Amino acid sequence: MQSAAPITYAQAACTALASAMADDSRVVVLGEDVGRGGIFGQYAGLQARFGAQRIIDTPISEATIMGAGVGMALAGLKPVVEMRVVDFALCAMDEIVNQAAKNRFMFGGQGRVPLVARLPIGMWSASAAQHSQSLESWFAHLPGVVVVCPSTPQDNHDLLHAALDCGDPVIYMEHKELWGMSADFDPAQHTRLGQARRWRAGADLTLVSWSRQMHWAAEAAATLAEHGVQVDLLDLRTLWPWDRDAVFESAARTGRLMVTHEAVQAAGFGAEIAASAAEAVGCRVRRVGAPRIPVGYAANLEEAARVRPAAIVSAALELMA
């Protein structure tokens, strides 16, 4: 049964986390401002319910927060490490890259790091270059971690549950401009990591995306239908592992694959998908991503970095020609 009222992207994640904490005393949260609910409300009410020993406010030091989370995980806990935004997590890259990601491999599986690092990605309106980055390809490139990018409230609920059950470090990348998005959801629903979701069925063009960009991809697909182009639209949801079977099956049927993402196009994860599909099924490919520029604070400069539906439609029609 679906919930009686819509729930926001932030509330969906909070609901999943509350359920996990109630079921498993090893689940703890640490980060800046988590005690008062987090800057997006994604921890609202949790400290009052579970106490300050499990919803732990920390000093302003990302390296310390992540390092403590890695230590907690190695000691048997299941920490959720809040970095506020991915841009701030750059201060904790050693702990992520050299400690969390590699421990299981370097010590023959004697240690595991069942840690979920919440690193919100994407453009944040009027927040400029140091608060608007989409760095998911950095972490997809990193052996030893799982990378998740939910695009809807339902997925934010289901995938956070799956991430907490993973047993390995998960880089969990919610979008900064999706927190207030509302939709009905089923609290009993579950999904697994590495499984794409089909938003729209079509036989002419495979279109793959994730996170906030999925919503603009869906708008573009509706416009393309008016041009007689039926899009098979896939939400990747997990960037690593990614659903190669779903993408290859679709691309083999349509003969054309396009990937669109908010991140900079150069060396973006779309290149990995496009190259892999071209090698596997011989389809034509196209990428649509942001220009290689910092996101500007001024509205016109910020707009220049956005990949709007019109750009997706234009590229798709060129690919169809």
Q: Which residues are catalytic?
A: 131
The token duo for 254 is 């349509």
Asked whether the beta carbons of 104 and 144 are under 8 A apart, the reply is: yes
Sign of the C-alpha dihedral, residues 64, 70, 71, 76?
A: positive
Closest to 259 measured CA to CA, from 205, 199, 295, 222: 205
How does DSSP assign 153-219, residue by residue?
HHHHHHHHHHHHTSSS-EEE--BTT-TT-EE---TT----TT--EEEE--SSEEEEE-TTHHHHHHH
Closest to 208 measured CA to CA, from 239, 164, 177: 239
Residues 6+ apart with CB under 8 A from 160: 13, 16, 17, 20, 116, 150, 172
Asked whether the beta carbons of 290 and 277 are under 8 A apart, the reply is: no
Indicate the DSSP class of residue 121: B
